[in-house]
């Protein structure tokens, strides 16, 4: 569907992030009555106000990924993209059920039942396996990025940190050599991170507290192109990306990573759904990363459910190198009958838990309601700056990383 900014009206803001603002919008050209309005989510990237390095490239990459997807548990482009000198916008399906994190917190005990965990894992395995079949590693799996439709089925979102990796054909192993193999390229931010994690001279992690954002931004990713990385059966990335409690050991170590990082994150997600917290969270980022590298996950006996699956985070700890080379799960494992096979059909039945649906009332909408997103951003740009705060910002309170 062609996206015409003159014909869509934003009803409200659904969310804001480093890579854009998401609006719930109505297509005024689709109907003259409120009941027939076409509603969808529209993500808008404002070019001139992007603060992250490479943000424009990442926004365009996300659009490129979405244009290739066709799977019941992955989003698709429903409109656009459209570009103006100031904005890049594209349309996505509207998921009125919120995200998996909000659903878990709506439960009285803040944990899912084993049957619900199996259901969500089956759909996520199907989605991730489909991405991997396209050569795309997701790299940002977390509950906040798992949206729920009105029927309770999942949809992954936010693909700006994903990456395409080439699967090289298998080649014979090289003959033994007395010369050591060259070490993979390591950027300065990874060397600094390793020094911070293990240096005794910095007991309070002051250097690490300089980080300011929950995503580990790929600052040096422009220097880790496909051509510069070591050849392997599957190409590896040396970018340092992800959410701190979900990053795998090989990412923390800067040893290079590939598709297995998604399965590691799925294990962390499994633990969080079962126990209400992630297994390696520390008092600060420094401790969290050290836990990822050295700590065994704890399984509270009083609240341990029947194990819904096996994963790097819910099985005996494996060395980082092993997790990087572990075989990926496949969709051939037993799954709930309501989970659709990868790319073959739409989900036939509702999910195990009815999500708290958006309170949108179609009867209060008309084609004239809402606002123009271009006016929205113009007002933001023209607004006077806020007065300086008397309270200094505590950078250690932020939950994401941008400076490595």
For residue range 172-202, list pLDDT tens digits in order: 444 544 444 344 444 454 555 555 455 544 4
| Domain annotation covers residue 330 | no
Judge whether 211 lies within some domain: yes
Average pLDDT across the chain, whole number? 74
User: Phi then psi for 136, rounded to 5 degrees?
Assistant: -110, 125
Q: Residue positions in the annotated binding site for ATP?
A: 43
Number of domain units in the chain: 2
Distance CA 18, CA 373 (A): 17
- The verdict on residue 28 lying in a domain is yes
140 is catalytic: yes
pLDDT category of residue 228 using cuts at 50, 70 and 90: very low
Distance (Å, whole) CA 153 – CA 354: 9
Residue 296 contacts residue 151 (beta carbons within 8 Å) = no
Assess contact for 164 and 115: CB atoms under 8 A: no
The verdict on residue 318 lying in a domain is yes
Strands (E), 226-366: 242-243
- Same-domain pairing of 57 and 108: no
pLDDT for 240-264, tens place per residue?
A: 556 899 999 998 998 888 999 999 9
CATH number for the domain that contains residue 38: 3.30.200.20
Q: What pLDDT, on a 0 to 100 scale, did the predictor assign at position 277? A: 95
Same domain, 318 and 274: yes
89/128 same-domain check: no
Strand partners for 27: 8, 38
Shared domain check, 123 and 74: no
**Cα separation, 245 vs 330, whole angstroms:** 24
Pure H helices in 36-187: 55-66, 100-106, 114-133
Q: Nearest 5°: phi and psi at 105?
A: -70, -15
Q: Verify that 193 and 216 share a domain, yes or no.
A: yes
Answer with the one of 78, 94, 110 that is the final residue of a domain: 94
pLDDT, average across residues 108-128: 97
For residue 164, is pLDDT > 70? yes
pLDDT digits (tens, 9 = 90+) for 52-89: 778 999 999 999 999 999 999 999 999 999 999 999 99
260 within domain boundaries: yes
Residue 346 domain flag: no
In this prediction, what percent of the chain has a pLDDT beyond 70?
Answer: 60
C-alpha distances out from residue 365 to 15, 79, 103, 132, 359, Å: 20, 21, 27, 40, 13
Is residue 200 domain-resident? yes
Q: Pick from 48, 13, 16, 11: which is nearest to 27 by CA? A: 11
Q: Look at strands 38-46 and 20-27 and give their pairing.
A: antiparallel
Q: What share of the chain is helix, strand, coil (3-state, %, to 5)?
A: 30, 15, 55
Q: What does the radius of gyration of the chain's CA atoms come to, in whole angstroms?
A: 22
Candidate list 99, 140, 160, 262, residue with the active-site label: 140
Q: Whole-model pTM? A: 0.72
Residue-range definition of the domain harbouring residue 61? 1-94
pLDDT interval class at 50 (50, 70, 90): confident
Residues 152 and 26 in one domain: no
How does residue 355 score in pLDDT terms, banded at 50, 70 and 90?
A: confident
The verdict on residue 362 lying in a domain is no
Residues 118 and 87 reside in one and the same domain: no
- CATH number for the domain that contains residue 162: 1.10.510.10
Mean pLDDT, residues 20-35 taken together: 77
Per DSSP (E only), the strands in 8-153 are: 8-17, 20-27, 38-46, 79-83, 87-92, 136-137, 146-148
Over residues 152-179, mean pLDDT: 73
Question: In Å, how far from its chain's centre is CA 50?
Answer: 19
Residues tagged in the binding site annotation:
43
Last-in-domain residue among 63, 94, 125: 94
Considering the domain architecture, whether residues 147 and 83 belong to the same structural domain is answered as: no
Q: Are residues 90 and 116 in the same domain?
A: no
Residues 130, 179, single domain; the answer is yes
Whether residues 182 and 252 share a domain: the answer is yes
Same domain? 89 vs 164: no
Q: Which of 6-15, 115-124, 248-257, 368-377 has the highest mean pLDDT?
A: 115-124
Look at residues 53, 76, 94 and tell me which one is the last residue of a structural domain. Answer: 94
């Amino acid at each position: 569907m062609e996206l015409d900014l003159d014909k869509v009206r934003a009803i409200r803001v659904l969310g804001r992030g480093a890579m854009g603002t998401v609006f719930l919008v109505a297509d005024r050209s689709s109907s003259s009555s409120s009941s027939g309005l076409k509603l969808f989510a529209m993500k808008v990237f404002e070019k001139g106000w992007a603060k992250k390095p490479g943000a424009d490239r990442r926004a365009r990459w996300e659009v490129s990924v979405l244009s290739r997807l066709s799977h019941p548990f992955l989003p698709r482009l429903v409109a656009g993209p459209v570009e103006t000198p100031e904005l890049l916008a594209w349309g996505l399906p509207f998921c009125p059920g919120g995200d998996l994190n909000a659903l878990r917190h709506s439960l009285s005990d803040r944990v899912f039942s084993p049957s619900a965990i199996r259901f969500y894992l089956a759909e996520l395995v199907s989605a991730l396996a489909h991405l991997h079949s396209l050569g795309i590693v997701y790299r940002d799996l977390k509950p906040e990025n798992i949206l729920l439709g009105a029927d309770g089925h999942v949809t992954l979102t936010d693909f700006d940190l994903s990456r395409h990796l080439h699967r090289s054909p298998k080649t014979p192993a090289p003959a033994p050599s007395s010369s050591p193999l060259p070490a993979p390229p390591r950027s300065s931010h990874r060397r600094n991170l390793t020094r911070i994690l293990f240096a005794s001279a910095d007991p309070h992690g002051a250097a690490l507290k300089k980080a300011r954002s929950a995503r580990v931004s790929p600052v040096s990713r422009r220097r880790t192109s496909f051509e510069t990385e070591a050849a392997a059966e599957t190409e590896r990335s040396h970018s340092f990306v992800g959410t701190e409690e979900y990053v795998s050991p090989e990412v923390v170590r800067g040893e290079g990573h590939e598709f297995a990082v998604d399965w590691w994150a799925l294990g962390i997600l499994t633990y969080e759904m079962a126990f209400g917290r992630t297994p390696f969270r520390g008092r600060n980022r420094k401790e969290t990363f050290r836990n990822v590298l050295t700590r065994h996950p704890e399984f509270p006996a009083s609240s341990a459910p029947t194990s819904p699956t096996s994963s790097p985070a819910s099985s005996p700890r494996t060395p980082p190198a092993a997790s990087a080379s572990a075989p990926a799960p496949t969709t051939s494992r037993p799954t709930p009958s309501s989970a659709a096979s990868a790319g073959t059909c739409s989900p036939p039945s509702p999910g195990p838990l009815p999500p708290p649906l958006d309170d949108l009332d179609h009867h209060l909408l008309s084609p004239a309601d809402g606002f123009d997103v271009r006016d929205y951003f113009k007002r933001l740009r023209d607004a006077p700056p806020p007065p300086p705060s008397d309270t200094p910002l505590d950078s250690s309170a932020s939950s994401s990383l941008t400076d490595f």
